[in-house]
Structure formats: C-alpha cells, structure tokens
Chain A
C-alpha cells in the first residue's frame, strides 16, 4: 500500500471532522494520518507528517486556514479548503488550493480533486 496518499483533516468541529473521515473512507487510496481541531495543531501535524493532502477549514480557533498555509511548507501539498462560506473562494485559489468544498458536500464532489 505504498502508493496511498496521506491526508490531514483540519476542522474545529468534531462532527465536521467525523463527516470528512466518513467521506474519505470511500477512497481506499487515501489514508488519514492526523485530524486536528485548531490551526496550531494543523501546523504541527503537517510539519510532522508531511501529508500529500490537506483538508482545511477556514474559520478556526487560534489560526485560521490561510494562516496555517503561511506557516507550513506547501510545495508538495494538495490543499482543499472545506468551509460553509463561499466568500473565501478567490482567496483560497490564490493560495493555490486545488479545490474549495462548501459544507455540506457530497462524496461525488469530494472525489475528483483527491485524484489529482
């Protein structure tokens, strides 16, 4: 299983993380290595695990999603923003996000970007 993609899921709401994990479970080639409830934990997890995929909420305690991206190495990182707001989309793509998911999202909607 060496060709599995590693992923970190960041969201301050437990239910939102739980939902993301459930959706990701449908993709056997993705392995979630860490889940984080705030920006600090996200920075730490990304630096530690060096995942290929990062599912990132925007409004969170301590550091928001954009601030997390400023603090981690993003070269080999595919970032997907997951938020209830649509007004951040332009900013999200400016920070080279591969996708921008609006909560609640479907499994089908999640599918394509994780294949990239």
Chain B
C-alpha cells in the first residue's frame, strides 16, 4: 500500500517535470535558438534537474516543515536552491558552449533565465515533496488509527469470549454450588474471584494502555479460580522479573495460552500438572513463557492451533518484528515462548 503510493508519487513527480521542460524549450526558442537545438538543450538541462530535484524528498525529510520552525528551515532551503541552480547553470552553460549547443555570443541572458527556471523548479520540487510527505503522513496516521481500532475491538471481543467461555463459567459456578453447603466462606471467595476476573477481562478490552503486570494479575486471578476446581491437580508456578511489569502489553494475549495449558494439560490428566508462567529478562530481551506438563497417556484434547496462530498474529501486530513466538510440543511438556527484543522497541 505505502509502496504503491510511493511509486505513483514518483510518476506524478516526473510527469510534472514534462511541462517544465516544455517551458524551457519555448523560452529558448523565443531567445532565437532553433527548434531542434532548443528541444535538445531544454531536455538535457531539465532532466538532470529532475533527478536532482527528486532528491528534494530527502531534504524535506531532514527539514520537516513546521510553522514554529520556519525560520530554521527556510534559509537552508533557499541556500541549497541557490547553490544547486547556480552550479548546474554554470556547468551547463560551459558544457553546452564546449559542445556548441548554444550560439556564440553573450550568454548572460540565457544563463540568467536557466538559473531562474532551475531555481523555480527546485522550489517546485520542494513544495511537491512537502505535499507528498504530508499526504503520506496523513495516510499513515489514518491507517494506524484504523489498525488501533481493530486491535481494541478484537481485544474487547476476546474479553467477551473469555467471559462467556461456557466451560470455564459453568464449571466454576458448579464449584460455587458445591461450596455453598460445605464451605460458605470459600464459596464467597470464589464468587469474588470470578467477579474480579470477569471485570478485569472486560476492562482490559477498553483500556488505552495495558501492561504485562496487569495481564499477570489477571492470570493469577484466573488460575486461583481454576485452583478451586482442580485442587491439588493444578500446581501453579510463577517467576516474574518485577521490572517487566510496566512493559506495554496487548490485553489478554497470555490468557488463552494459560487457559489452553489448563484445558490440555491439567484437565485430561489424573495426576498433578504444573502450569509454569515466567516473565524474565535475558540480556536486552524479555522472555515470557507459558508451560504446562502433559500426561503422555492422556488422549489428545484436540487443539486446533487456531488459538495459537491468532495469538501470534496479535503479538506481531503489537510488537512488529521485535517479538517472536515459539512453540515446543513434547510428550510431557508444552511450552509457548514469547521473546521481545527491548532494544527494537525504543
């Protein structure tokens, strides 16, 4: 998309140069030069200018035009215009004189006029590129806003789905029903945890900024609820580098991974299974890892991999190429590792 825009901007730029070449030709003819020489001279004068003018794009990038910085930007632009036009006009006159493209005699008129044309066209090219850059930026901003909207909508949907996950919800309610008779305090505790979990998953979808610390808190809440259901069959281990708490994080990215760890690791196994969550630093990288043990004799619980690929997609949309996700599936262990290059985030 951006590349197409770039290509068409370039084509538009060179097309806009054609009338200028025509203008040079016409003026040369008016100066008393023959039509064919005028065409040759006009073309060979303005083509290098077009190429040089094309690099105005980089000037525009280096010196962004802002209302509060006009005084810093305009003098260098004027200087550059003067320098390039002067140099090229001088060079061109000398070369064309040597090649006898121009008639002998006083060339001051033609030189002055070429200088003017070239200065105007450089300025034209600067204006053109400033406009292009502004348009590109506007388009990028629109695209980013669009993507951010999709992202937050998706997070909200996810939150809703997590909230409505019937397996989790009804089984938890069943535990509450069981506890009300035997252990009312524990039943109340369970209801409070569930409320807190559902509330925070819903809020996560709407929050502007979400952090890894908040995600981990949400996971703890989730695992506390599952702990009541599974008792000693679920062992939770957590190791977190507190300095990673403030890392900006796509909401509920880990939650489905942990839910899968419970669904495919703990639920089908009769023996205790460990769900291991780690968020640690490895040099300049943050390594976040969700692992679960597996009962090698348990039947496959039929994971589709769709959940994993959507997590991967969200991860790359959020972190770009700074993040990678690897999956290790072994007989007794299933791990998803997310590695984030903190250098690339800066």
Contacts and interface: CB of A to CB of B under 8 A. Distances in A.
A104 interface: yes
Contact of A15 (B178, B295, B298): B178
Contacts of A86: 166
Interface string B155-191: 0000000000011001101111111011000000000
Interface stretch (B15-23, B84-92, B227-235): B227-235
B298 A62 contact: yes
Interface in B224-247: 228-231
A84 B181 CA distance: 20
Contact of A102 (B170, B175, B182): B170
B270 A15 contact: no
Contact of A14 (B170, B231, B297): B231
Interface residues of A, number: 20
A84 B171 contact: yes
A85 B166 contact: yes
A103 interface: yes
A22 B178 CA distance: 8
B171 A103 contact: yes
Given A14-B231, A85-B166, A61 B174 contact: no
B118 interface: no
A22 B182 CA distance: 9
Contact of B268 (A19, A61, A104): A61
B174 A12 contact: no
Contact of B228 (A15, A19, A62): A15
B170 A12 contact: no
A13 interface: yes
B269 interface: yes
Nearest to B166: A84
Contact of B295 (A13, A61, A85): A61
A86 B270 CA distance: 24
Interface residues of B, number: 25
B174 A104 contact: yes
A61 B269 contact: yes
B81 interface: no
Which of B170, B171, B174, B268 counts the most chain A CB atoms within 10 A? B174
A104 B173 contact: yes
Nearest to B228: A15
Given A13-B229, A16-B178, A61 B298 contact: yes
A69 B167 CA distance: 22
A18 interface: yes
Given A19-B177, A103-B173, A104-B177, A84 B182 contact: no
Nearest to A13: B229
Contacts of A64: 299
Interface string A70-90: 000000000000001110000
Contact of B175 (A12, A13, A38, A85): A13
Contacts of A6: none
Closest 7 CB pairs of A and B: A19-B178, A84-B170, A104-B177, A103-B174, A15-B178, A61-B270, A104-B174
Given A12-B267, A13-B229, 16 more contacts: A13-B174, A14-B231, A15-B175, A16-B171, A16-B175, A16-B178, A18-B182, A22-B182, A59-B267, A61-B269, A61-B295, A84-B166, A84-B167, A85-B167, A86-B166, A104-B170
